[in-house]
Structure 1
Amino acid sequence: MTLDFQSTLFDGLDAEAPAPAMTAPIRRRELSSGAWVDVARGWLPEPDAVMAALIEHVPWRAERRAMYDKVVAVPRLIYTYMIGEELPHPALAAARDTLSAHYAEELGEPFRTAGCCYYRDGRDSVAWHGDTIGRGSSHDTMVAIVSVGDPRRLHLRPRDVERREESFAVEMGHGDLVVMGGSCQRTWEHAVPKVAAAGPRLSVQFRPFNVF
C-alpha cells in the first residue's frame, strides 16, 4: 500500500496557509435547524506519521452488511477504539484531549471513542447517513473528524428534501479537522461519495459516549 497522495487543494475562503497544528483557526458555518460545522485546516500535528501509524497498527477489518435482498461488502476498512483503548499514535490522543477541552462548554462531556475508516482509493466511500444510533438520535452532540491522506469531500445535505438547496461539501485535506455539531446528526446527513481516482485517505472520528 502506497502513502503517496496529492497535496490539499484549497479554494475560496479556505485558501489560507494553515497555522501551527492544534492552534489553527476553527471557523464555524451555521446551518439550518440548529446544526453547524467547524473546519480547521492543517490542525493535526505530524499528519505523515499519524497516517503511517494508522495504516500499520490499526487492526483493520472488512465488513459485510445486508442491503435489500443481498449481503454486500462495506466499501472501506474500519475499526473503532473504545473507551480506554490506546490509540495508534500519541498525536491522536493529544487531539482527542484538545478537542474535549475546546468543546467542553458546548458539549458538556469529553470525546471518548475513536472510529477509524480507511478509504483505500476512490472506489471506497460512505453513503448518506447521520450518526443517529444512541444519543445522537434525540440529543445534540458532536462528531469530530481528523483526516489524513488524499483529499476527499465530505458532502452534507438537510434531511428535509425541501431544503436540499442548502447542500454543500467540505474538502478534507491532510491534517484537517471537521466537527459536526448541534443537531447536525439528526437534521442533516453526510456522505463521502466515490470518485474517479484518489489515493489512500484515513479518518478518525472522535465521539462522546454512546454516539455512533
Structure 2
Amino acid sequence: MPEDLDVQYLEGFVADPAAMFDMAERNLSWDDRMHSRRTASCGVAYNYSGISYPDCEMPPFVQDLAARLAGVVGHPINNCLANFYADGTAKMGFHSDSSAGVVAGTTTSILSLGAPRVLTFRRSLRRNETHDMALAPGSLLIMRPSVQEGWQHAVLAVEAAGPRISLTFRFLSR
C-alpha cells in the first residue's frame, strides 16, 4: 500500500466472526431505505447518505466492541453504522466519508463479518490508481483521517458472494 494510504489491518480482531455476524443480524434495527443494502446505526445520532439516524442505545455486543476498539485507536467510540450486504450484488460506490460531525483527528474503523469482500481504494484526484484490500471475516480496518482526504473507497459488486455485515465505528461530536 502507498505510504499516504494510512490504514491498519488487524486480522482476527473478532475470534468468532460467524457468531458475531448472527448477533448483529438479529440484534440491530435494520433500515431498508438504501437501495443497494440495509443499514443500521446505534449510539449518538448520525446522518448518513441522506438518512438521519436518531440516538439509540448500543446493544451490549456493540458496546463491548466499541470499548475494545477505543483501547486500540486511543479515543472513544460513540457510534456504530452497520451495512448489510445480502449478496455480491449489494455494493457501496466510491466515496470519502464525510467529516461532518466526526471529532477531528479520530479514526474510522470497519469490522468485517460474514463473507469476505474487497475494499477498493482509489485516489481522489488520480482516480486511475487503485489498491484492493481483501477484508476477511473478523478483521478490522482502521483508517486515519488523511485517508478520507486523499482517497475514496468502495465495496464493488461481485458475481458471487455470501452475506456480509460491516460495522463502522466513529467518534462523533454530540
Paired amino acid for 2:15:
P
Counterparts in 2 of 1:1-212, with a 5 A limit?
Answer: 31-32=3-4, 35-64=5-34, 74-83=35-44, 85-88=56-59, 90=61, 92-104=62-74, 109-134=75-100, 139-161=104-126, 164-165=128-129, 167-210=130-173
Q: Summarize deviations over 1:48-104 as a string: whole Å, max 9, x none.
A: 22111111121111115xxxxxxxxx20000111237443452x3222112212221
Counterparts of 1:97 and 1:30, CA distance in 2: 30
Structure 1: segments with no counterpart, 5+ residues: 1-28, 65-73
Paired amino acid for 2:77:
F
Q: Given that residues 43 and 58 in structure 2 are in contact (C-alpha distance below 8 angstroms), is that contact kept between their aligned partners in structure 1?
A: no
Counterparts of 2:78 and 2:91, CA distance in 1: 25
Structure 2: segments with no counterpart, 5+ residues: 45-54
Q: Given that residues 78 and 115 in structure 1 are in contact (C-alpha distance below 8 angstroms), is that contact kept between their aligned partners in structure 2?
A: yes
Paired amino acid for 1:117:
N
Paired amino acid for 1:82:
G
Q: Which has the higher relative contact order, 1 or 2, with Cα contacts under 8 A spaced 6 or more apart?
A: 2
TM-score by length of 1: 0.70
Runs of 4+ in structure 1 displaced over 4 angstroms? none
- SS of 2:36's equivalent in the other structure is strand
Larger helix percent:
1
Indicate the RMSD between aligned Cα atoms, in angstroms: 2.3
Q: Given that residues 73 and 107 in structure 2 are in contact (C-alpha distance below 8 angstroms), is that contact kept between their aligned partners in structure 1?
A: no
Alpha carbons of structure 1 residues 145 and 139: separation in structure 2 relative to 1, 3 Å: same
Larger gyration radius, structure 1 or structure 2: 1
Alpha carbons of structure 1 residues 174 and 123: separation in structure 2 relative to 1, 3 Å: same
| Percent of pairs with identical residues | 26
Counterparts of 1:117 and 1:181, CA distance in 2: 20
Alpha carbons of structure 1 residues 135 and 185: separation in structure 2 relative to 1, 3 Å: farther
